[in-house]
Amino acid sequence: MRDPYDVLGVDRSATQDEIKSAFRKLAAQHHPDKNPGDDGAHQRFKEINAAYQILSDPQKRAAFDRFGPMGANAASAGGPFGGGAVDLNDLNIDGLFGDLLGALGIKVGDRGNLQKEIRISFEEAAFGCTKEITYERVVPCDDCGGVGAAKGTQTERCSLCLGRGRVRMQQGVFPIAIERPCTRCRGTGRIVLDPCKPCRGAGIVPKPRTIEVTIPGGIENGTPWIVARGGNCTRPDRAPGDLELTIRVSPHEFFRRVGDDVVCSLPISFPVAALGGEIEVPTLEGKQRKLRIPAGTQPGAVVRVKGQGVTRRVMGGRGDQLVEIGIQIPTKLTDEQKELITRLASTLGEVPQEAEHESFMDKLKNLFG
């Protein structure tokens, strides 16, 4: 683990505002979506995020400053450096209860975080939207209230932990107490004599859930969106984990995004490019907007339409729409049209294509002949 101060490039005396500013700058610079083809971008982005998670939390930052990486990790787990005993977090839970958790898709040591993807349209990402999401998560059993015992039955106090739900051991390396959940009662302090049938004594069951998520305008593809406490409840006596939604933005058939601007390509006729004129261009909102094309516009020129881009999440307002100009070349010409174009080329002092081709072939013959 690298020093988070070095990762974000800030001093140890940096304020929270300085840390946040450094994080935003680096995260924008190294985001995988902005570095296509760079295999190391994902790892750099992950390292930057991990460093910010430590330095943005006063408790974790203080623990790191005093004890280094071990202190930060312990503070994250609520360990001795954060003011309590080290929690080994179910490392010794096995047997029937471990099998039940496995059947629910929960691994030993799992904190209940869920990861899902949510797909939105290009326009929804630009302006924001509200999405309804239905997913399945593990929650305390309604039948037994999370106790694990059948209705009308009693539980008895665990003789191993004396009802505490936890056992404590002393480690020789560190002069601190190490706590772990009691393996006999599964950390509840009570022993179930007659298990509840719906949850089979686990106290937790899978259940569908529907929520509404409000996504702000200007969000980018691949952005994580956290729904606090929206994940699994790995044990009845613990708060559920988080639901992490990864935003996937569908591509648009006409627009592409560059920062807060949107870019589109628009072909125009040769007469309009040469003489200038007014055309209509579609916008993200689905409306046609009139656009003035100056005389003598060249292929590849970019015309800017102010305020027709993506919603800016930081500064407010909207980006611009950039229209890349292309020239439509007619593929079928009448004899009269060909004659007119030839006359135009002559007045412009340009060499007709046939003569230019012959001149080029003569040069090749002289070169290789």
pLDDT digits (tens, 9 = 90+) for 193-203: 899 999 888 88
Is 60 exceeded by the pLDDT of residue 77? no
Strands 243-249 and 166-170: unpaired
The pTM of the whole model exceeds 0.75 = no
DSSP per residue, 102-162: HHTT--TT----EEEEEEE-HHHHHHEEEEEEEEEEEEE-TTTTTS-BPTT--EEE-TTTT
pLDDT digits (tens, 9 = 90+) for 98-117: 545 555 555 555 678 999 99
Is 70 exceeded by the pLDDT of residue 46? yes
Confidence of residue 69 (pLDDT cuts 50, 70, 90): low
Q: What is the dihedral of CA 229, 231, 236, 239, to 10 degrees?
A: -20
The encoded tokens of residue 85 equal 């005993």
Task: Write down the domain spans for the chain.
Answer: 1-83, 256-328, 339-368
The encoded tokens of residue 268 equal 């125009």
The domain covering 1-83 belongs, at the CATH homologous superfamily level, to DnaJ domain (1.10.287.110)
Cα–Cα distances (Å) from 212 to 117, 131, 198, 217, 232, in that order, read 14, 6, 28, 16, 18
Handedness of CA 264, 270, 276, 278 (dihedral sign): negative
3-class secondary structure, 32: helix
**Residue 116 contacts residue 133 (beta carbons within 8 Å):** yes
- Over residues 253-273, the mean pLDDT reads 93
Dist. CA 233–CA 18, nearest whole Å: 36
- Over residues 142-170, the mean pLDDT reads 85
Confidence of residue 351 (pLDDT cuts 50, 70, 90): low
CATH number of 256-328: 2.60.260.20
